[in-house]
């Protein structure tokens, strides 16, 4: 049985807090509730512009998360130093552009292997498992492997944003990239833009062992509560993962 682990991204709780400069809602509490509901991992992104998650959140969550702490970060010196001190279980390298609404594309590893390998080495030396967030492209998968990453997270945003035949093609790209990752011995995760409808098909890809999902779960939590929103996503994973 290919049991898919659910990483719950709580950045959006911090976005709401930062929008008013209040103490609430606290992503630390959201992480605890998500874990109690069955999340296998908590994912947070410490952005260079600190638009949602703050250093305080990272430090406290290192103490409070009882499952797996996945820290998303760009290869920015200041954030890398924090990561090496805090030592999350998993660090996912993502690209970052100041003007973007969310992480828009995968990391360009091809052509930047030396630079990426140095960052992977720095984090690995601190005892952190490194994942690279990449587009569903076999060349990027191979480059990630060559850079020493243990895991890749395949960007599902293009799949999530498309429809019909185009969506089927995007799913196929994810399938091919996942197979290439597994062939190389990489752990294969996926995420971005996944919701209570489009996650089902992604679960049918046997090489995928982890999904990181934030926006759809947090959005549903407004209406049904975070506990139920997490449980409903876990139910989808259990129903759809391949035996």
Return residues touching ligand PXP (CB under 6 A): 9, 11, 45, 72, 92, 94, 102-103, 133, 153, 191-194, 212-216
Question: Is 45 an annotated catalytic residue?
Answer: yes
Q: Of the two residues 44 and 86, which places its CB atom closer to ligand PXP in the complex?
A: 44
Question: Is 72 an annotated catalytic residue?
Answer: yes
Q: Of the two residues 34 and 194, which places its CB atom closer to ligand PXP in the complex?
A: 194
Cβ pair 32, 67 in contact under 8 A: no
Least Cβ distance, residue 194 to ligand PXP (angstroms): 6
Cβ pair 225, 232 in contact under 8 A: no
Cβ pair 150, 184 in contact under 8 A: no
Question: Is 210 an annotated catalytic residue?
Answer: no
Q: Of the two residues 9 and 151, which places its CB atom closer to ligand PXP in the complex?
A: 9
Least Cβ distance, residue 71 to ligand PXP (angstroms): 11
Exposure class string for 75-87: b at 16+ Cβ within 10 A, else e = beeebbebbbebe
Least Cβ distance, residue 243 to ligand PXP (angstroms): 26
* Nearest residue to ligand PXP, scored by beta-carbon proximity: 214
Q: Which of 72, 96, 153, 207 is catalytic?
A: 72
Q: Of the two residues 12 and 175, which places its CB atom closer to ligand PXP in the complex?
A: 12
- CA 123 to chain CA centroid, nearest Å: 17
Q: Of the two residues 28 and 233, which places its CB atom closer to ligand PXP in the complex?
A: 233
Cβ pair 73, 131 in contact under 8 A: no
3-state secondary structure 151-174: EEEEECHHHHHCCHHHHHHHHHHH
Least Cβ distance, residue 196 to ligand PXP (angstroms): 11
Cis amide bond preceding 222, omega within 30: no
Cβ pair 131, 92 in contact under 8 A: yes
CA–CA gap between residue 67 and residue 39 (Å, rounded): 8
Least Cβ distance, residue 11 to ligand PXP (angstroms): 6
Q: Which of 12, 35, 45, 155 is catalytic?
A: 45
Q: Which of 140, 155, 192, 207 is catalytic?
A: 192
For the annotated catalytic residues, the residue numbers are: 45, 72, 192
């Amino acid at each position: 049985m290919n049991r898919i682990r659910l990483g719950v991204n709580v950045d959006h709780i911090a976005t709401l807090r930062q929008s008013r400069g209040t103490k609430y809602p606290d992503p630390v509490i959201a992480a605890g509730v998500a874990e109690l509901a069955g999340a296998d991992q908590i994912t947070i992104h410490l952005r260079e512009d600190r638009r949602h998650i703050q250093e305080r959140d990272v430090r406290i969550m290192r103490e409070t998360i009882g499952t797996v702490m996945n820290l998303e970060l760009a290869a920015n010196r200041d954030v890398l130093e924090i990561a090496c001190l805090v030592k999350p279980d998993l660090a996912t390298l993502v690209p970052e552009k100041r003007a973007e609404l969310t992480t828009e594309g995968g990391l360009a590893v091809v052509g930047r292997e030396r630079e990426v390998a140095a960052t992977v080495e720095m984090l690995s030396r601190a005892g952190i498992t490194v994942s690279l967030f990449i587009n569903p492209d076999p060349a990027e998968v191979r480059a990630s492997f060559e850079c020493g990453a243990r895991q890749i997270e395949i960007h599902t945003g293009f799949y999530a944003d498309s429809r019909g035949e185009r969506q089927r093609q995007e799913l196929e790209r994810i399938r091919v990239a996942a197979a290439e990752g597994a062939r190389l011995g990489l752990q294969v995760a996926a995420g971005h833009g996944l919701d209570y409808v489009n996650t089902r098909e992604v679960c049918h890809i046997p090489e995928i062992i982890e999904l990181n999902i934030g926006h759809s779960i947090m959005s549903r939590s407004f209406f049904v509560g975070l506990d139920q929103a997490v449980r409903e996503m876990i139910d989808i994973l259990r129903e759809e993962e391949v035996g």
